Amino acid sequence: MKRDAPTWPQDLFLIGCGAEPDAGTPADARSMGVKAHNLLRMARLGLRVPPAFVIGTRYCATAAAARTALAESVWRPGLQALQQTCGQRLGDARQPLLLSVRSGAPVSMPGMMETLLNIGLCDLTAPGLLRQTGDPRLVWDAYRRLVATHGEVVAGLPAEVFEHELAGLAGTRDEHDERELDFAELRELTRRCLAAYRREAGRPFPQDPHEQLASAIDAVLASWHAPKAADYRRQHGIDAGIGTAVTVQAMVFGNAGGASGAGVGFTRDPSTGERRLWVDFLFNAQGEDVVSGRRSAHGHDELAQVLPAVWRDLQEATDRLEAAFGDMQDFEFTVQDATLYLLQTRNGKRMPQAAARIALDLLDEGRIDLAEARRRTAGLGAGQLACTRVVGADGQALQPIARAASASTGVAIGEIALDGERAAQRHAAGADVILVRRDAETSDSAALGAARGLLTQRGARTSHAAVVARQLGKVCLVGCDALVLEEDGRGLRIGDHRFAEGEVLTLDGNTGAIYAGAARTETEVPADLVARLQALRDLPGA
């Protein structure tokens, strides 16, 4: 697969497509984004990664400055290499190649930019995917997802346009799970979504897969400048000039039936640092179902029980990731027909206690050296490691009104705010605030800065919003089945209890418990962890 250097575009990279051409720039995190660079590293480790090509970060600034679409000549050689590797062609009626298009900056920005999946599906290629998979449900599920996502991300349509079509088919707006629909229902849903796209966008959904790909690439580049991405960069001091890369990757399908699914996890507990896999997984789902914050996911127990060989593969693969990257990893994966594929890895966001324990344990395990352990724990002392817990009066245990999945530890007490505007207003007035939402969505990231904690009805511990909450040190409880929001009345119900906006809740991130009113708390310092840190600092050497 050797190519002449002059014909290969600058800053276009290959992953898993045979010989790597000279892209004119070193393949590092700055030139191809941290996500793509880590994919390349995983492929070089021999881990199972779907092949891809990467449009380097330099094109983000170029496209913005020119205010025009990225020239197809930039990415066409990458597509040709990917087609040759996969033995499939984009738009082919019999052997169609389907693609994901993902963002990836040199600095991790969880959920702040766009992703599109199933690029290449259309009326012509849907029968070809059916021949390849023998699964009509997969075909129509993937097609309707593409229509809806393309409508939202590229055509700028509200998500409610397509949610309304699901609600009309299912008979209920909020609670129906489209994973329960059979292929005939999904086919009808796809047709409704295609009609809704034409009606709301004023033009039909593009049936040309190359047009789909070009518009998806442009939308991902444009998402670098989206308000939520700009707000995140301002909050975290990230240079807007570094831009995002675009990774175009062969699809693998987590929505291919009962032996398939999508998951996100950490190689260690990001709240405590305990050395154990910490995984959210959804069977018969695609990755966006887990990270979007609109689904409540299972822990690893069900995956280990139903697909034990996949669970063992995941344990082995993630142990290799830690050894290679020298840190706790936050990873994404897809299982298709009981085969594991890794889609992403990065150093995971963690709470201060976890940061200390992980660094100390990695030193003991020989995965980092003394100087690195000291660097990672600099500034961590008793004050930073202190933890707050809920205690009952006179030794009596408090009775929670509900429980949820905990995405980060600690205790948050504050008055209920049902949207970001209310949270900002009350925070400015000096009040402690608990942001309560239906879904754990990244659009709430700015509001999290004004809140002590986040409580959601739906969502997974590894959703992008939960990751951001943990990074900010906020208590985050997700997937509270007992929670029902009443936005019109500016209130909510948790089980048998009704609360108006402004009333007080306590979120216990240590146990997942939710209490009415302000619970009594006490603070304790983990003496064993503080002692280990002091011993580290007392050791001779660099």
Per-residue pLDDT at 350 exceeds 60: yes
Please report the pLDDT score of residue 174 as a whole number: 47
Residue 465 pLDDT greater than 80, yes or no:
no
pLDDT in tens, 233-290: 988 899 999 999 999 999 999 999 889 999 999 999 998 999 999 998 999 988 878 7
How much of the chain exceeds pLDDT 90, in percent? Answer: 68
Contact (CB, 8 A) for 407 and 461 = yes
**Per-residue pLDDT at 187 exceeds 60:** yes
| Predicted local distance difference test score (pLDDT) of residue 2 | 44
pLDDT confidence of residue 439: 79
CA distance 61 to 197: 30
- Beta-bridge partners for 435: 417, 454
Query: What pLDDT is recorded for position 176?
Result: 54
Name the residue with tokens 């304790």: 524
Measured CA to CA, the distance from residue 170 to residue 389 in angstroms comes to 43
Whole-number Å distance between alpha carbons of 357 and 143: 45
Question: How far is Cα 418 from Cα 152, in angstroms, rounded to an integer?
Answer: 24
Of 94-108, 145-159, 165-179, least confident by mean pLDDT is 165-179
The stretch 147-169 carries a mean pLDDT of 91
Q: Is residue 29 predicted with pLDDT exceeding 70? A: yes
Q: State how far the alpha carbon of 321 is from the alpha carbons of 227, 317, 346, in Å.
A: 33, 6, 9
The predicted pLDDT at position 64 comes to: 58
Q: Would strands 99-104 and 387-390 be described as parallel, antiparallel, or unpaired?
A: unpaired
Residue found by looking up tokens 């040759």 in the block: 84
Q: What is the pLDDT of residues 86-124, one digit of tens each?
A: 999 999 999 999 999 999 999 988 778 899 999 999 999
- The pLDDT tens digits for 487-518 are 676 899 999 999 999 999 999 999 999 999 99
pLDDT at 290: 76
Give the chain's radius of gyration (CA, Å).
Answer: 24
List, for residues 424-437, the tens digit of each pLDDT value.
999 999 999 999 99
Chain-wide mean pLDDT for the chain?
A: 90
